[in-house]
A and B are shown apart, each in its own frame.
Chain A
């Protein structure tokens, strides 16, 4: 895993319409590995997208990445991703397809969701879960929000590393 306070891997991945996106160019960037089929990712999804909305005016960008093997998990196919985007599930957050799984491997992502916060220089400042309880919407992705508040204030997050909770990344078997 890229270490906290070290540069995070950079990448260029296509969204569901083929446009390439990379982290950077913002005061902070949230990179979240997620998917279509995992109940943890779905339970946390709205809270995570709410963060993108709430912090957009503070120059925070968010990139959602689906790294799962779509051959074994067809619900994570590019077409299924596209359907969710067109249905409004991501509401402006680019939903990127990591077909080779190279980005998930570079980040050593474990689960969906798995959240990383990068500062303006691309330094990793937070990695882990959005908050303490996928079952409790009132948690409001507070760990992620706390990390962003710290980064935007030029401080190190008090809680820089938490255990990601969710479904294991569905790696391709030939890897």
Chain B
């Protein structure tokens, strides 16, 4: 399983997102040290990597909270918690669901 966290320094939310992601991975028996951190530094980086805001977390290339039609660029990303609150980071339950789905897919392939 390939877990990536894309971040931009202009937004202070990536440490929280990384902490949440590491916690959920440990809960699921996954190795949090396998998380690949990718810094997005320029608008060109953002376009190249399809970066719609910081933080963006992808598991095997799939966004844990996919969005349609968002422009690429250096910005903070808006998430919605499951209770409806706006948040700078994904809901940990969404992280858990995405990781579990990827684990299922991986086990079906093997």
Contact = CB atoms under 8 A, between A and B. Distances in A.
Interface of A: 37-40, 42-43, 72-74, 134-135, 137, 165-168
Nearest to A136: B85
Contacts of A165: 12
Interface stretch (B31-39, B61-69, B70-78, B95-103): B70-78
B75 A37 contact: yes
Contact of B75 (A135, A166, A167): A167
Given A43-B86, A135-B85, A135-B87, A167 B77 contact: no
Given A167-B11, A168-B10, A40 B85 contact: no
Contacts of B77: 39
Interface in B45-98: 71, 73, 75-79, 85-88
7 contacts: A38-B78, A39-B87, A40-B76, A42-B78, A42-B86, A135-B87, A166-B12
B78 A134 contact: no
Given A165-B12, A167-B10, A167-B11, A37 B85 contact: no
Contact of B88 (A39, A72, A137): A39
Contact of B79 (A39, A134, A167): A39
B13 A39 contact: yes
A72 B79 contact: no
B107 to A, nearest CB: 34
Nearest to B76: A167
A101 B86 CA distance: 26
B12 A38 contact: no
Contacts of A167: 10-11, 75-76
Contacts of A72: 73
A39 B10 contact: no
B54 to A, nearest CB: 9
Contact of B86 (A39, A73, A74): A39
Contacts of A42: 78, 86
Contacts of A73: 73, 75
